[in-house]
Structure 1
Amino acid sequence: MANANRQFHVTEAATLHALVRAQPLATLVVAQGGALHANHIPLYLDPARGPHGTLIGHVARANGLWPLLPQTAVAVFHGPQAYVSPSWYPSKAVDGKQVPTWNYAAVHAHGTLAAMDDPARLRSLLHTLSEQHEAHRPAPWRIDDAPPDYIDKLLRAIVGIELAVERWEGIWKVSQNRTDADRAGVVQGLLAEGTPAAADMAVLVGVPR
């Protein structure tokens, strides 16, 4: 993201954290021995742990990621994204010098990724994760709903991971470089697409930054 247009950069912690909470499935990338290892893992943000927060989750013990740790890593969180047609720009009628682009919002969390294998902490982690995703349900599932011996067996099959965030990067490429008229055209075009993804992007384009 370092080479992205500066006007697309977002640094407000509240905005970055909100996307991470809304879209917790991260692409987690670690470099080891000249190779890149990528995993797709839901991560929970604990903003109170460390100066920039800590991301926590777990992987199967059979996953080859955790034996590589500790290691520098980056977790990529993907927000709304959508294709933008140049035909949506009113300015296209002036000189035709417009081309397609792609709008998106994304967050990168850089830091040190470590493994955590303590049974008590793993159980606490599972409680935290299930409560995070079940709290809004009328009858939330709780880890205690499952037989204790079954949970104990599952605990032996997973390893916790913790990414101590050292640096956040956020990119909101949402037509900030266009005129107000072109942005309005993009919003209309996106809404006409009639898809949830396009509608989500229309909201971002329509909110001045």
Structure 2
Amino acid sequence: MYIPPHFAETRPEELHRIIRAHPLGMLVTRDEAGLDANHIPFEFDPAQGTHGLLTAHVARANDIWQRCPTGTPVMVIFRGAEGYISPNWYPSKHETHRQVPTWNYEVVHAHGVLTIRDDEPFVRGLVARLTRRHEASEPKPWKMGDSAPDFIDGMLRNIVGIEIAVTSLVGKSKLSQNKETRDRLGAADTLDARGNQELAQAMSRAGS
């Protein structure tokens, strides 16, 4: 990934925030058949290992867990806030007419080593944790105990767990840091007014 110095994101807390706020990662693998990408919701524990541990599950019918055995190097891409930026949103454009369109975004590349976890206790615990997290905002959160045990047991048999020991996190936050403060904040204000509060807030924070 090309990262100009002013867009480099190296703060662990920001890298972790992006992963947690956007847990649907793109798992990129390479084997004899070539490159492949699978889109999977991940759980992230930054306290495990040097740079954290990613856990997830795939369908047993997805042969990635057979094509990419334990020990395979992989990369997971997490995309954060993003959006189009019009030059019209920069106050300086109307004075100098020296601005062009761009796209702002946050992204984290997690590099690591894959471990296949084809065991029922692991996938049961993982699914329970993912469910608790993503159901937490529901008025009456769903839990596995709401379904018949034999149904849940059958569903768990149809998935395989994976772990990724993260060896490095590479981040990029392209948030108009290379623009004048008034231009960056002007674009952020327009994004906020148009409903993209997440990117607007990220751009506003970029100057702090």
Matched, 1:200 2:194: no
Q: Secondary structure at the match of 1:50?
A: coil
Q: Corresponding residue for 1:49? A: 48
TM-score by length of 2: 0.92
Q: Corresponding residue for 2:69? A: 69
**Aligned-pair CA distance for 1:34:** 5.7
Q: Corresponding residue for 1:17? A: 16
| 1: CA distance, partners of 2:166 / 2:201 | 29
Show structure 2 runs of 5+ residues with no match.
none
RMSD, matched Cα: 1.5
Q: Corresponding residue for 1:125? A: 126
- Code of the aligned partner of 2:204: G
| 2: CA distance, partners of 1:144 / 1:45 | 24
- Code of the aligned partner of 2:61: A
Show structure 1 runs of 5+ residues with no match.
none
TM-score by length of 1: 0.92
Q: Corresponding residue for 1:28? A: 27
**Aligned-pair CA distance for 1:20:** 1.1
Aligned identity (percent) is 44
- Code of the aligned partner of 2:94: A
- Total equivalences in the alignment: 205
**Aligned-pair CA distance for 1:72:** 1.0
Matched, 1:162 2:160: no
- Code of the aligned partner of 1:53: G
1:80-99 paired onto structure 2 within 5 Å? 80-99=81-100
| 2: CA distance, partners of 1:188 / 1:140 | 35
| 2: CA distance, partners of 1:200 / 1:127 | 28
Summarize the Cα distance change of 1:109–1:183 in structure 2 as closer, same or farther, 3 Å threshold.
Answer: same
Q: Secondary structure at the match of 2:184?
A: helix
Matched, 1:7 2:16: no
| 2: CA distance, partners of 1:143 / 1:11 | 38
Deviations 1:146-195 (A, max 9, x none): 21111111121110011110000111100100011211221233234x23
Q: Secondary structure at the match of 1:75?
A: strand
